[in-house]
Amino acid sequence: MHDPMQPPIHVILVGASGAVGSRIDALATSDPRFDVVARIDRQRPHHHADMLRVKTPEIIVDFSHFSAVEASASLARQRRAPILVGTTALAPYHLDTLAQLARDVPVLVAPNTSVGSVVLLQIVQKIASALGENFFPSITEWHRQGKADAPSGTANALRRAIEDAARGARDFGPMAVASVRAGSIVGEHLVRFDGPEETLELVHKAHSRDLFARGALRAAQWLVAQKPGLYGMIDVLGLRDPSNQGQHPA
């Protein structure tokens, strides 16, 4: 329930015309807790937001393309605004830029803002740490034709979670990750652990891009209340293991 005495969260939306960005725009526009004050895409570059007066609370939400992340980070630094980056295929130097920015403002890096996917990630990590030497993991992911990155950001996060869980205890060797691009599939991820007499499978299927948009808005509402730092969706959901501080955002 929205408190009418509370000001709306002012959103600068980067990638507003994209597949997920457009759904964030639509849902935020119909929600009194949010006010989309600027929409940035190829036709309306980042300097379009420079003329805006800073309004508190304010957040930059970027679901565009990895090539725009540095400009979004610069805008966040300039405006001293929290930033949520849902863009995938980030290179190490992008993550370094965001980590440096996190010293000054709250930064949330979320390759997947689906709540179910975040829970899957945590379960997979626990399973990987519990299974014995004879179980070997593999990941398969399906997305729409034309998706720029392969494997997906979520598949890479799942792989890191498995590797982190097993680090120091065992070596799985090169982990098999298969990417399928077909039709208009929103997103599916299958994690298998194959043993000599049994197989364990975990699967997550996204049926609509609205689930990513709703997760992003939930994360945005959480992030504007945080101190400077680097966060992931597991922080939004309160699932962070204190012993895993400093792990990759998810």
Compute the radius of gyration of the chain from its Cα atoms.
Answer: 19
Query: Among 97, 61, 64, which residue's Cα sits nearest to residue 81?
Result: 61
H/E stretch holding 202: strand 199-206
Spatial separation of the C-alpha atoms in residues 80 and 62, rounded to whole Å: 15
Torsions phi, psi of 136, nearest 5? -125, 130
Strands 176-181 and 199-206: unpaired
3-class DSSP state of 167: coil
Residue 109 identity (one-letter amino acid): V
SS3 category, 94: helix
List active site positions.
143, 147
Rounded Cα distance between 159 and 20, Å, is 24
